[in-house]
Amino acid sequence: MSSGTSTQSTAGRGTAKPAASIFAVGLMLFSMFFGAGNLIFPPMLGIESGENFTPAIIGFILTGVLLPTITIIAVAISGAGVRQLASRAGAVFGLVFSIAAYLSIGSFYAMPRAAAIGYELGLESTFGLSGQMWRLVTTAVFFAVAFAIVLFPGKVADTLGKYLTPLLLALIAILAVLGFMKLNGEPAAATGEYASSPLTAGILEGYFTMDSIAAMAFAIIVVSSFNAHGVKERKTVVKYSSISAVLAGFFLLIVYLALGVMGTKMPDKGQYSDGAAVLSQASKLSLGTAGDMVFSGVVLLACLTTAVGLIAASASFFHELVPAISYRWWSVVFTLIGFTVANLGLEKILSFSGPIIGLIYPPAIALIAVTFTQLAVRGRPIPLTYRAAVAVALVFSIIDLLSDLLGETMDGITDALSVIPLYPEGLGWVLPTIIVGAIALVVDLSRKDSGHEADALAVVEPE
């Protein structure tokens, strides 16, 4: 981020219409968050949670709305990118984590997943355009359009915020309003984890949106968008970024609630295997023959806007990491990789998503939490807190990954750890991370400030 030393004339040009810029960036941020997974998870949550919908959707909102929103704010206030934030837990971790985060939310998972879902749900299942050739053509057009938008990073907010996102929201609003009017099913009994632990199940479902990790990456685009509008003063950029994040979170909240409630109102709930089938049928029941068109439009736009954000964020990060390769060439690289992986098919892409998400999410959330703790102890370096909290979360992530890969070989370790609260639900890392992080914080605050560490680790305060 730029500091507050920008000329007044430059800042003035950007603040002539601040409300319009904030609204456009907020809509852009919403559209980048709201991809295919965000579209299909809530309806299925509504069906499976049934009478326990309220605690389930609260859990989903905690990790699917609140966490991404505060992550954008934390990154904006800290004045650091993903690598700089992660490096507070160690330079090697910072480099490895940031690369892994951008690749997982970018061309090796989330981006091709968006393209694959766009094809399989938006065209194949709706219009019967099946076959490898149709997949190839569709994903080629999909990535060509996305690439054309990201060629001009300063215009991403305008393209998404002023044009594509309003259209997406309009289609969702039509579907939701008519769905509320025409769907009259009653909530069923909760099934699976939603019957015993609906709040925890909702939290875990919110994990799979991957929006908290994406928020760390999207913050770069948010700041760049305001800079492109002439907003350079650091304090103003932080303020506008925070308001835009809250605005995006508000739209996510409304859409998730609407889609979730639609799931609870669906008839014949037992016939649906996933949220895509729920939403497709809801479109037909609500809109008749036009429902297929609306459903396809929602899916394709949701997937496209997300892909645009992911390509732009990845290209920006790797250009900063390797300046010798331009932003546009990095965009070409990630577009081509995403196109190639997308043509493997959705099933293969999703097969390796769980372990990736499980490995990255706990240390990412720990990092975000400690970043907010840093803000609460202004000017005090807390290097041990960063390293300890992230290390504990990472250890649990690695154990969970090994359990998935090795199966029964890890039973002894997992049985021993099962006494930890929330471990069976996949959240066993939370309490140990909090305890160890709190102890490390006490140690950090009891030590005299080190000028070297303060310069290296202290949060950059808004001017």
Q: What is the DSSP string of 363-406?
A: HHHHHHHHHHHHHHTTT---HHHHHHHHHHHHHHHHHHHHHHHH
Q: How far apart are CA 360 and CA 446, in angstroms?
A: 31
List the domains of the chain with CATH numbers.
Answer: 18-343 (1.20.1740.10), 358-447 (no CATH)
Q: What is the mean pLDDT of residues 194-211?
A: 88
- Region of 274 (left: φ > 0; alpha: ψ -120 to 50; beta: rest) is beta
Work out the average pLDDT over 155-169: 78
- Residue 459 pLDDT > 90: no
How does pLDDT run across 442-456, given as a tens digit for each residue?
A: 999 998 654 444 444
- pLDDT digit string, tens, across residues 306-324: 898 889 889 989 999 999 9
- Name the band, by pLDDT with cuts 50, 70 and 90, for residue 353: low
Please write the tens of the pLDDT for every residue from 247-277: 999 999 999 999 999 999 998 877 887 777 8
Asked whether 382 and 370 are in contact (CB, 8 A), the reply is: yes
Residue 94 DSSP SS3:
helix
d(CA 53, CA 47): 8
Global pTM value: 0.81
Q: Mean pLDDT highest for which of 53-62, 174-183, 299-308, 368-377?
A: 53-62
Q: Per-residue pLDDT tens for 98-146?
A: 998 888 878 888 889 889 888 888 888 778 788 889 999 999 999 999 9
